[in-house]
Copies of this chain bind each other. A is one copy, B any other.
């Protein structure tokens, strides 16, 4: 980002078929369905009208009736992004893919393909897959420990980036006269042999339009932060308080400095669930309506998944019990445990909070009030942007785009037109050089 340009808020839309609030789908205005392409296309268009940087898809590799309704069924993210690339023009297209249950060659290729299909709008959210349930769907067996998952992820990411550099930009003369379609001396064979992966290469994809698709990292534990500081362009994180989010950003800054990276080349985007009302009391009523639809069993199930321990045997009206450290989502478990202790929350209160946005921050208020809190975090260095998590679709998200976005624009905090044609350009990030070829 050139120094003469004011820093601007980044916005992602965290798309989820049945909304983010566990009972959002029950709202009278809610439309839903993880496989409802028409609805998802409309929402993507709304995000693009709102000049959002990107649409973001989470993912999972398991299903069960007791999961969040948005998780039970969902279109495979690469397929869905490829479809959405056809009905959008500027919107970045981000999807989650696992480094624990994938292969570097497949992942490198999939995101290179979305980047080609979309003209440079692909982003990969590299996750280590926190839920052990997924392991049962893959023959590999045991779900690896938290630290081992991050060791695998480090090697996985380096391998993928190496594969993206397989071809020089001028590798394809395609000269009908001489018959030279591709130049062998402009192709690089990676020959990666590491602890977890052996991948020869080259990738069967020319270099993506963005050079490398945008890398997103979404784990907030120390190994997650280190991975982000070294390899990521954006970080999604769950943060409940400005102070903690600021401390998180500062920690990332220090780790980035150790890697020789400038802080402005990474965008930290906490999850943010806005419940927008025309008045404060309307917003509050909307929030309470959502909370009243919560099934306590479903909420406790969500909390159990986030904490990494089965909580169904405990009394809902007592405090969160003492639990050993989990191998699942470490940072989320810590965040929730700290919050419960600090605010003397009962298990019911904590699970109701998680039912709202799975540990992400929920803010209800008028457009100006919501813009206020976003501005406060942004200006305090607690966030570079936000991953917006509407409680349900489409009306709550439409309201955000129609009312909060103009408020941010009026304050000079958000773009009034897309700056470039690729996601990387819109994020103000440079196209990485090919490590094997000049130019």
Q: Which residues of A contact B (CB under 8 A)?
A: 18, 23, 25-28, 30, 32-33, 35, 37, 60-66, 69, 71-76, 78-83, 85-87, 101, 103, 105, 109-110, 112-114, 116-117, 136-139, 141, 166-167, 174, 176, 179, 181-184, 187, 196-206, 293, 295
**Are B25 and A199 interface neighbours, CB within 8 A?**
no
**Are A199 and B86 interface neighbours, CB within 8 A?**
no
Q: Closest residue of chain B to A60, judged by CB?
A: B204
Given the complex of chains A and B, what is the CA–CA distance between A35 and B113 in angstroms?
8
**Are B32 and A174 interface neighbours, CB within 8 A?**
yes
| A41 → chain B closest CB, angstroms | 9
Count this chain's copies in the assembly.
2
Q: Closest residue of chain B to A69, judged by CB?
A: B181
**Are B105 and A26 interface neighbours, CB within 8 A?**
no
**Are A83 and B80 interface neighbours, CB within 8 A?**
no
* Secondary structure of the A contact surface, majority rule: loop
Q: Which chain B residues border A183 with CB–CB below 8 Å?
A: 65
Which of A35, A82, A295 lies at the interface centre, i.e. has the most chain B CB atoms within 10 A of its CB? A82
**Are B199 and A69 interface neighbours, CB within 8 A?**
no
- A-B pairs with beta carbons under 8 Å apart, 28 shown: A18-B181, A25-B174, A25-B181, A26-B176, A27-B176, A28-B176, A30-B176, A61-B105, A63-B166, A64-B202, A65-B184, A66-B184, A69-B181, A72-B182, A73-B206, A74-B204, A75-B113, A78-B78, A79-B79, A79-B81, A79-B117, A82-B83, A83-B117, A136-B199, A137-B199, A139-B196, A139-B199, A179-B295
Q: Which chain B residues border A137 with CB–CB below 8 Å?
A: 105, 199-201
Q: Closest residue of chain B to A102, judged by CB?
A: B106
